[in-house]
Structure formats: C-alpha cells, structure tokens
Structure 1
Amino acid sequence: MVTPKVKLSEAAMLEIIRRPHVTEKSTMGSEHNQVTFKVPLDASKPEIKAAVEGVFKVKVDAVNTIRVEGKSKLWRGRAGKRPDFKKAIVTLAEGHKIDVTTGI
C-alpha cells in the first residue's frame, strides 16, 4: 500500500512531534532502530512520518501508534484523571538515527 504524500509547514511539523517519550521500554527499541515520540491524539501515521522526515532529515520505514488512556487517580481524597495521550513508535531506515538526548 502506498502512503499519500503529506505537505506540512515547519510549524505543523514541530506541533506534531511534541517530545521524545523516553522510558526503559522505548530505550530498548533503539536497538532495533526505533524512536518513540509523544504526538497529538488526532495525528495520523502519514503526518507523523512526514514530520519526522522533515524535522530530523531521516528516512522512516514504518510508524506504529498507540493511544494510551489516562489513569484514574485519587488526589487528596478527590477523584481525578490524567489526560489521554498518543505515542508514535517510528522505525528508521537502515543507516539513519536520531539522538533524542540533544535538541533540534
């Protein structure tokens, strides 16, 4: 299946890639040439691919997304809920890499 080409402005690209999601599990993904980002809930896979390729100047092989529902918590005896968020696991082409510990 051919993914459609998406044209995004520089500001739209930076809005889609909110921040890297650095956890123990996402760090293990770096062994398989994968990087994990937090993205908006309404971001699509072609938009995420275009944003990563545009901002970091790399070739993306695949994008997998996960919608994480916020936890319900008690705070001072009152019920609250953390916000939902979406993670994008981006698989890079062979020979490309992104160092998430440095700025853009």
Structure 2
Amino acid sequence: TYLSDQGKYTFKIFPQANKIQIKRAITNLYGVRVKDVKIINIKPKKRMLRGIEGTKGGHKKAIVTLEQGEKIEILPH
C-alpha cells in the first residue's frame, strides 16, 4: 500500500533540520496536525564514471505521520 493511505508522507529535507523544525514547517505549510516524525539519513555512495571514482551525495529524508483524518493534497486525482 501507499504510505499516504496510512497517513504518512515522505519529504527530502535540509541536512541540519531536526524533528521539531520539520513538525512546525509541515504544520505551517499544509495546516495539518502532525502525530510523528521519523528521520532517515541516506549515506553517500561511491560511483565510478569513466574510471574516475566519485561519490553520489547523501541526503536526509523525513517520514511524517499525520493525525487520524488529516490529509495533504499534493496532486489532485
């Protein structure tokens, strides 16, 4: 099933952001009540391109769980 069907939404976030800042930002931007925030750090990965080793940059993701009955309308169906 989709995470949005469970009231969970994923956002790529600023690396220095914390859970409290994310919760406030989602509440202010979308006007919804946030129940929980989980943060995942995606580590950089090594890649080879034409014999030269480089890195694919890592990033930080937040999985935001909304209160029961709340929904973020991203794209109309």
- The TM-score, its normalising length taken from structure 1, stands at 0.68
User: In the alignment, which residue of structure 2 is the partner of 1:16?
Assistant: none
Shift >2 Å, 4+ stretches: 99-102
| Alignment partner of 1:36 is 2:10 | yes
TM-score, normalised via structure 2 length:
0.90
CA-CA distance at 1:70 after TM superposition: 1.8
1:48-102 CA-partner distances (Å, limit 9, x unpaired):
0000000000000000000000211111111110111000000001111112336
Larger radius of gyration: 2
CA-based RMSD:
1.4
Counterpart residue number, 1:99 = 73
Q: Give unpaired runs (5+ residues) of structure 1.
A: 1-26
Highest RCO, 1 vs 2 (Cα 8 Å, sep ≥ 6): 2
Q: Which has the higher strand share?
A: 2
Q: 1:86 aligns with which of 57, 60, 63?
A: 60
Distance 2:10 2:20 in 1: 16
In structure 2, how many angstroms separate the alpha carbons of the residues matched to 1:66 and 1:77? 31
Identical counterparts, % of pairs = 37
- Where does residue 74 of structure 1 map in the other structure? 48
Q: Deviations over 1:16-38 (max 9, x none)?
A: xxxxxxxxxxx721121100000
Q: Which runs of 5+ in 2 are unaligned?
A: none
